[in-house]
Amino acid sequence: MNKLFEDRNRQFWILHTLGWLGFAIVNYLSSLVLDTRDAYLIVISLDAYVGWLLTIPLRYLYRSIWAWHPWKMILTVLVVALLIAMFWTVIRNFNYWEIYRHGYRPSDWLLYIKDTPAAFYVMLSWSGLYFGIKYYQTLQAEKQKSLTAMNKAHEAQLKMLRYQLNPHFLFNTLNAISTLVLINDNDTANKMVSRLSDFLRYSLYKDPINKVPLEQEIYAARLYLEIEKVRFSERLSIGIDIEPGTEKALVPSLILQPLIENAIKYAVAREVNGGEIVITARKFGHDLLLEVADNGPGLPDIVVADKTSDNGSGVGLVNTRERLAALYDNDFALVLTQNQPRGVKVNIRIPLQLEQTETDNA
């Protein structure tokens, strides 16, 4: 707030001084046409300086009446501008007669204020510029506040979407660990606890607003799949195929996790013999293509489940689509297709953005 006040205060003094300097220059150029003496330059300088001084109090007056009713404010501005214009006109004429006409004094007092309409126009112009600039600054400040509020809401939405991890995953994992402890398979239980700890640490410490390199996302996916592999043992096969050069591509953190979760829930868990999950990443022009494929029952089951699931049964495709829309606006695609010979493929297309390394920034 203090910085904003200082910036506006600095802007006022700069514009205020430049405005009156412009007034002096225009009057000087006009005097060249009339072929005036050099002494007239002193008169012009004094007129501009007095105008500069007289309009400073207007700033503080206009500040105090900014919240008034428009008609009351307009009437106040007109009256004050007229009074200042009359006073300024008297001083200007006095300077002109004293300096340029060597102490001349008119007999008619009305001659002291004869140029008031022109001075009134100048004061109204100054007032109009002041209110116009102040109104523009107020609009910009309100716009900035609105943008800040929207950004905060946007960040909150992203965090909410990212943190909607399936509680059933955690419950199933803890149950599996409990079972391993009961059968005295402590080594496997320790490994599972360690992997769960690493996965939760990754999910909690990564800011959902920021993107992460694909290699980190694959690391998190491996942790998740290794935990699930303890549950499903040989029933779960994993394949990861990452095209060289895509490791540093930036992706939303944990964007693959709900897709893998769906594949496990609707493909691997439903098959007696288990199934396979394959994760691939490819460059496609200026885009990055991500794919999660399985060899489960097929498309209808997962589509129906995802559309009807509203009781916390999974993060799902809707959540993923909303996250992508929040991060990339319309510059993304999420497509669900039938895998061959069976199963489901989920394809994501996002802009290819590479992580900036220290070498790149040097």
What's 123-137 look like in SS3? HHHHHHHHHHHHHHH
Residue numbers of the domain that contains 137: 8-161
Of the chain, the percentage scoring pLDDT greater than 90 comes to 29
User: Total domain count for the chain?
Assistant: 2
Same-domain status, 200 and 61:
no
Contacts of 284 (CB under 8 A, 6+ apart): 349
Q: Is residue 258 part of a domain?
A: yes
* Beta-bridge partners for 334: 348
17-32 CB burial, b ≥16 within 10 A, e <16: eebbeebbeebeeebe
Phi, then psi, of 336 in degrees rounded to 5? -110, 120
At residue 342, the 3 state secondary structure works out as coil
pLDDT band at 257 (very low <50, low <70, confident <90, very high): confident
Domain boundary among 138, 161, 184: 161
335 falls within a domain: yes
pLDDT in tens, 146-183: 776 666 655 655 555 555 555 666 777 788 788 778 88
Q: Based on the domain organization, do 206 and 254 belong to the same domain? A: yes
Decide which of 158 and 339 is more confident. 339
Per-residue confidence band for 300, with pLDDT thresholds at 50, 70 and 90: low
* Mean pLDDT, the chain, integer: 81
Name the nearest CA neighbour of 67 among 18, 162, 157, 131.
Answer: 131
- Residue 197 confidence (pLDDT): 84
pTM: 0.55
362 belongs to a structural domain: no
Instruction: Return the pLDDT at 122.
Output: 92
- Residue 288 contacts residue 352 (beta carbons within 8 Å): yes
Let me know if residue 265 belongs to a domain: yes
- 273 part of a folded domain: yes
Considering 121, 145, 161, which residue would you say is the last residue of a domain? 161
Q: Are the C-beta atoms of residues 26 and 125 closer than 8 Å to each other?
A: no
226 with 310, same domain: the answer is yes
Q: Is residue 173 part of a domain?
A: yes
297 and 318 in a common domain: yes
Within a 10 A sphere around the Cβ of 56, how many other Cβ atoms? 11
Check whether residue 119 and residue 187 sit in a common domain: no
**pLDDT band for position 113 (cuts 50, 70, 90):** confident
Question: Is residue 213 one of the residues assigned to a domain?
Answer: yes
**Per-residue model confidence (pLDDT) at position 1:** 54
Q: Between residues 291 and 305, which one has the greater pLDDT? A: 291
Q: Are 276 and 295 in contact (CB under 8 A)?
A: yes
Structure confidence by residue, pLDDT tens digits, 169-222: 677 778 878 877 888 878 878 888 888 888 777 776 666 667 889 998 898 888
Nearest Cα neighbor of 258 from 201, 302, 320, 312 is 320
How confident is the model over 222-254, as pLDDT tens digits?
A: 888 888 887 777 788 889 999 998 999 999 888
* Stretch 38-51: mean pLDDT: 88
pLDDT digits (tens, 9 = 90+) for 49-108: 999 999 999 999 998 998 889 899 999 999 999 999 999 999 988 888 888 777 777 777
- Give yes or no: residues 247 and 102 share one domain: no
125 shares its domain with 203: no
Of 161, 183, 207, the position where a domain reaches its end is 161
Does 302 reside within a domain? yes
State the pLDDT at residue 351: 93
Q: What is the CATH number of the domain that holds 263?
A: 3.30.565.10
**Cα–chain-centroid distance for residue 282?**
30
pLDDT at 347 over 60: yes
Tell me, what's the pLDDT at 228?
83
Q: Strand 250-252 relative to strand 275-284: parallel, antiparallel, unpaired? A: unpaired
Residues 180 and 116 grouped into a single domain: no
User: Do 86 and 138 share a domain, yes or no?
Assistant: yes
User: Helix 2-33 to helix 56-64 angle, to the nearest 10 degrees?
Assistant: 130
**Do 204 and 125 share a structural domain?**
no
195 plus 336 within the same structural domain: yes
Q: Within this chain, do residues 184 and 332 fall inside the same structural domain, yes or no? A: yes
